[in-house]
Structure 1
Amino acid sequence: MDEVIYKARKFTLVRRAREVGGRIIWGEYLVHPGAVAVLALTGGKAVLVRQFRPALKSWTIEIPAGTLDGGESPEEAAVREMIEETGYKPLRLTPLLDFYPSPGISNELIRIFYADELEYVGIGRRDPGEIDMEVLLKEPGEVLRAIISGEVKDSKTIIAFLAAKEKGLL
């Protein structure tokens, strides 16, 4: 049984009951439509974004990503997000892996794709909070070193690079 506490643009906060050992236990959880991320390479370099994250009050370096819009497939969302954020359109997407970033508080599932065939089509219409986003092209080895040194802290980026390296894609 879910009780909606708050409905936001990208998620819903619900209060959910669950029976544990004969007792009803209540908890608060974020219900999320899901998200996508793309580890993309062009000319042997990784396509990343540097963006300000208000929750952290700081800038992060990440692979392009975003929330699924109503009714779109993960593949459609991945192409849309890549164009909006970087101007690159993936010509082929290969599923890399799916993961739950915060299963203790949210049902959000992030689907990560790999793309190494891109076409530059120009940056699309970004969300208002992404106007100052910067596109970065970096050698994969440089990104892996930044992950290990702690400079890159974004979980989807870390997971994508480590999985791609393990699968021999980098």
Structure 2
Amino acid sequence: MGKIHDVQKLTDNRFVNLYHVDATSVHNTPVSYYVASRAKDIPSLKMKTGRNDPDGVIIYSVYGEKKDKVVLIRQYRYALGGYIYEFPAGLVEPNEDFHEGAVREMHEETGLKLEPLKVDPAYEKPYFTTIGMTDESCATVYGYASGEISKAAQEDTEEIEVVLADRDEVRRILKEENVAIMCAYMLMHFLKDEEPFAFLR
């Protein structure tokens, strides 16, 4: 196993920071590595705590009387200079249970009300997003959405369109559009499963 010798915080931003890691690999080779993290300081990095508390939450929900539409957002992302389809998602606030965070984020981004499902913890525990560059992890909350779409609670910095996509639209999106990978895999389940969330049983 590699050995970490020193960590330096290089930026001081609100939502994400860059850290430099000085290490030695298992082959005794010097390593200079950079990690983007939601951690506010070095002691809070997952490499220091050994914990995997979720930084964020991703919401896979279906909508409608027939439960035949999935709730997506089409969001402008500066990293792409364009739009990408994602699930509603957001950061978990300090001392907030991620299920509560999911309900809050769903309302803020879409105006919809989320009724979370109780599932096996293996399906909702936090998994890592892009481990080659960040220690960020996100939990997944599954559920049913209801109500009317509204942008009233969206932040001024966000550019979000709410999309209620049926299976035909999901097929088009996967074929033609930019899609976040975590969302794409779940959309493949949505296409395959006759009953929503069948894969959770």
For Structure 1 versus Structure 2, the TM-score category normalised by the shorter chain is 0.7 to 0.9
In 2: Cα distance, 1:55 partner to 1:121 partner:
26
In the TM superposition, what whole-angstrom CA distance separates every residue of 1:3-55 from its partner, at most 9, and x where no partner exists?
A: 10012221121111222133442211012252211111111211111221111
Whether 1:82 aligns to 2:82 is no
2:71 counterpart residue number:
47
The Cα RMSD (Å) is 2.5
TM-score normalised by structure 2 residue count: 0.71
3-state SS of paired residue (2:23): strand
Which blocks of at least 5 consecutive residues in structure 1 are unaligned?
none
Which blocks of at least 5 consecutive residues in structure 2 are unaligned?
1-5, 40-54
Measure how far apart 1:136 and its partner are: 1.4
Query: In the alignment, is the contact (CA less than 8 A) between 2:167 and 2:191 conserved in 1?
Result: no
In 2: Cα distance, 1:75 partner to 1:140 partner:
26
Moved more, 96-105 or 36-45: 96-105
Mark the structure with the bigger radius of gyration: 2
Identical pairs, percent: 24
In 2: Cα distance, 1:8 partner to 1:120 partner:
35
Out of 157, 165, 168, the position equivalent to 1:138 is: 165
Measure how far apart 1:101 and its partner are: 2.2
Out of 3, 11, 17, the position equivalent to 1:6 is: 11
In 2: Cα distance, 1:26 partner to 1:160 partner:
35
In 2: Cα distance, 1:94 partner to 1:102 partner:
26
Relative contact order: is structure 1 or structure 2 higher (C-alpha 8 Å, sep ≥ 6)? 1
Q: What letter is aligned with 1:142?
A: E
Which structure 1 residue ranges, 4+ long, deviate > 3 Å from structure 2? Answer: 93-99, 117-124, 163-168
Whether 1:100 aligns to 2:128 is yes
TM-score normalised by structure 1 residue count: 0.83
Measure how far apart 1:65 and its partner are: 0.9
> How many aligned residue pairs are there?
168
Measure how far apart 1:138 and its partner are: 1.2
